[in-house]
Amino acid sequence: MADNPVEHLSEAEAAEELGRLAAEIAQHDYRYNTEDAPIISDAAYDALRRRNLAIEQRFPHLRREDSPSNKVGASVSEKFGKVTHVVPMLSLDNAFHDSDVEDFVGRIRRFLKLASDAKIGITAEPKIDGLSLSLRYELGRLVTAATRGDGTTGENVTLNARTVASIPNVLSDSPPDVLEVRGEVYMSHADFAALNERQAKEGKQIFANPRNAAAGSLRQLDATITASRPLQFFAYAWGEVSEMPASTQMGMVDAFRSYGFRVNPLMQRFETVEALVKHYHQIEEQRALLGYDIDGVVYKVDDLALQQRLGFVSRSPRWAIAHKFPAEQAMTILRGIDIQVGRTGALTPVARLEPVTVGGVVVTNVTLHNEDYIKGIGQNDQPIREGRDLRVGDTVVVQRAGDVIPQIVDIVADKPRGPSAYVFPDTCPACGSHAVREEGEAVRRCTGGLICPAQAVERIRHFVSRNAFDIEGLGEKQVEFFFKSEDPALHIGTPADIFTLKKRQANSLTKLENIDGFGATSVKKLYEAIDDRREVSLSRFIFALGIRHVGEVNAKRLAKAYRSYEALANAAMAAVPPKDRADKGNDAWRELNEVEGIGSIVAEALVDFYAEEHNREALAALLAEVTPLDEEVKTVSDSPVVGKTIVFTGSLERMSRDEAKAMAERYGAKTAGSVSKKTDLVVAGPGAGSKLTQAQSLGIEVIDEDAWFTLVGA
């Protein structure tokens, strides 16, 4: 933004700047309202609007037709149907200082020609930082849900709104025939953090704050995605109402509660400015503890007859105002970027900041999500921070988005920049193994697997889990205990250590049976469980290694194809992936790719795994203790399903539908898409519908997915 104070602008400069601001604000409105992906902070956006307004106030005749001051929000996205709001959804004026509240009440008294000390009932409630939604009920049933849009026309998000638990589909009590309830859809801090964690794990979009997450979740063309996102709703206003159930703001909100809506428990009615301001500061103190974002307190004249008389000025009511909290932003210096390794091997960069107080809390670390985020590249290659990369030494703006989750929202452009671009490491800081980023993924991962201490506990737990080595007596607590123990007779850092535990214990003075939580019997049982697994099927062995993309099904495929551990390991070590499009890789690579169901992604993961010396060492140690049994090949004629017709229905958890079909065919069966008298067997997963009913009525045998695996001996 231009630094020239508004008072110093010439008329020509003012005209030019108003044009630039109109375009810039419109662009930010679009990013915010339509794409749910703002590229500047709220404070920076407010500053642009304030400057626009200040210039307009100094040069009223220069006010443009497309002035941002005339608009509430951006145009409606094309993706959704449109809904016209019979009663427009307007905005609120802002107050920033306690004295602005005094002015607000003073204006009301003057407008109503009341005495300067006349008492006026005014409600005060939190301003929820989400997105507003208008819900239309006819005869007590939800018929339309619409976003605010530009205030006059919003987007039809009815199907999405129906999936929100706190939005009733049918109202209780006796609501008016036509009732439009308005309120805020939002996401709690805890749900926001969990969602972003899930998104990051899946390499998907990271939301900047709970409000964007709520907006992005509600505005989904596929309402099942909305359903999977934990949204909540507070009712606080209304549009068209056929018969008003109350004559005050409080009374209306009480009525909403009786119809089944959630209303904010912090709403109260006061009669003096002092009491309003006191409540504001009390809410401000509780802000960080509420568990959801609020950005101020809204005051509303309680008496609806007075609201009616007060009416509106341009885009906001005269009877209400939003008393905003000061922006929780602060400047500090980015001192360093550290890399943390998660339990799944994901490398997450963390900014180390010169400690700074933001909204009363000292912030020293903030997550930087992934390497693209540092480079200034967002989802779909959209620029973030206008495409500027973060460098150690930069002066940055830190915001406690969502009050509790701090983040860097910008780089201060007029401060000296850090000297050099940050180079994201391609080795794991925890174990030194290569860290690779697969195509289409935002996350770089450590390939150290078994030997990476950051991943070890999770890997060992996977190794002993039911479908892998299935060792009872090694639960989460025990694995953590053994891993953390520094006693050489107790430490379990790699799978091989599990199998040497008994031997190490025999020569040691620290006896496991004397340690809290382990009795003599449980230790004996543990050793038995371990010894029982010194021979294990090849497919379990492969699955237990926790190689990326090698789940149970792929482990079985590889076991069947290579039949012995040596054959598989030799193939994975000999395989050379193609260097470019023209190259097809060497013979071993092509053979690996030709294994049914194994594609280049899995093949590459295997090659990467064996390319790490650490992994080969861990495997050698394990193979000194454990023998993977050669896979017996079942000939098709052995299979109990030869010649049978099988229908798969419902959702399958261990394999995709295509895999299921391929598997059935491999065992000599045919598959069909519908159930008829010719069907011999139905494999039904959860959620199976008409096919299952049909099978039952025809008396056809129905089994579940696990039983299918057992039946064919897979």
Write down the residue that tokens 């010169």 correspond to.
354
Q: Smallest gap, in angstroms, from Cβ of residue 140 to ligand IVH?
A: 23
**Is 401 flagged in the annotation as binding?**
no
User: Nearest Cα to 522, choosing from 530, 513, 514?
Assistant: 513
**Is 43 flagged in the annotation as binding?**
yes
Residues making contact with ligand IVH (CB under 6 A)? 90-92, 125, 127-128, 132, 148, 184, 236-237, 298, 317, 320, 322
The secondary structure element, H or E, covering residue 237 is: strand 232-241
**Helices 495-506, 520-531: crossing angle, 10 deg rounding:** 130
Q: Smallest gap, in angstroms, from Cβ of residue 182 to ligand IVH?
A: 7
3-class SS shares of the chain: helix, strand, coil, % to 5: 40, 20, 40
User: Nearest Cα to 554, choosing from 599, 510, 514?
Assistant: 599
Question: For residues 192 and 207, is the Cβ–Cβ distance under 8 A?
Answer: yes
Q: Smallest gap, in angstroms, from Cβ of residue 108 to ligand IVH?
A: 15
Tell me how many degrees the CA angle 403-408-409 measures, rounded to the nearest 5.
90
In the complex with ligand IVH, which residue's Cβ is closer, 148 or 533?
A: 148
127 catalytically annotated: yes
In the complex with ligand IVH, which residue's Cβ is closer, 92 or 660?
A: 92
- Residues paired with 300 in a beta bridge: 123, 320
At residue 131, what are phi and psi to the nearest 5 degrees?
-130, 145
**Is 247 flagged in the annotation as binding?**
no
Write down the residue that tokens 């950051």 correspond to.
454
Q: Smallest gap, in angstroms, from Cβ of residue 99 to ligand IVH?
A: 20
In the complex with ligand IVH, which residue's Cβ is closer, 125 or 371?
A: 125
- Residue whose C-beta lies closest to ligand IVH: 132
Burial tier of 703 (Cβ tally within 10 Å: 0-12, 13-18, 19+): middle
Residues for the chain: how many in total? 714
Token readout for 628 is 């993977």
**Is 452 flagged in the annotation as binding?**
yes
**Is 603 flagged in the annotation as binding?**
no
Q: Smallest gap, in angstroms, from Cβ of residue 258 to ligand IVH?
A: 19
In the complex with ligand IVH, which residue's Cβ is closer, 234 or 259?
A: 234
Q: Pairing state of beta strands 681-684 and 444-446?
A: unpaired
**Is 271 flagged in the annotation as binding?**
no
Q: Smallest gap, in angstroms, from Cβ of residue 93 to ligand IVH?
A: 8
In the complex with ligand IVH, which residue's Cβ is closer, 297 or 450?
A: 297
Catalytic choice (79, 82, 119, 127): 127
**Is 446 flagged in the annotation as binding?**
no
What are the b/e assignments for 189-206, b being 16+ CB within 10 Å?
A: bebbbebbeebbeeeebb
Q: Tell me how far apart the alpha carbons of residues 649 and 684 are, in angstroms, rounded to a whole number.
A: 5
In the complex with ligand IVH, which residue's Cβ is closer, 186 or 708?
A: 186
Q: Smallest gap, in angstroms, from Cβ of residue 87 to ligand IVH?
A: 9
**Is 184 flagged in the annotation as binding?**
yes
Token readout for 292 is 């959801």
Q: Tell me how far apart the alpha carbons of residues 680 and 373 are, in angstroms, rounded to a whole number.
A: 54
In the complex with ligand IVH, which residue's Cβ is closer, 132 or 494?
A: 132
Centre a 10 Å sphere on the Cβ of residue 414 and count the other Cβ atoms it contains. Answer: 6
Using alpha carbons only, how large is the chain's radius of gyration in Å? 32
Q: Tell me how far apart the alpha carbons of residues 663 and 646 are, in angstroms, rounded to a whole number.
A: 11
- Dmax (CA) for the chain in angstroms is 99
Tell me how many degrees the CA angle 32-92-272 measures, rounded to the nearest 5.
145
Enzyme catalytic residues: 127
Binding-site residue ranges for NAD(+): 42-46, 91-92, 125, 148, 184, 300, 324
Binding-site residue ranges: 42-46, 91-92, 125, 148, 184, 300, 324, 428, 431, 452
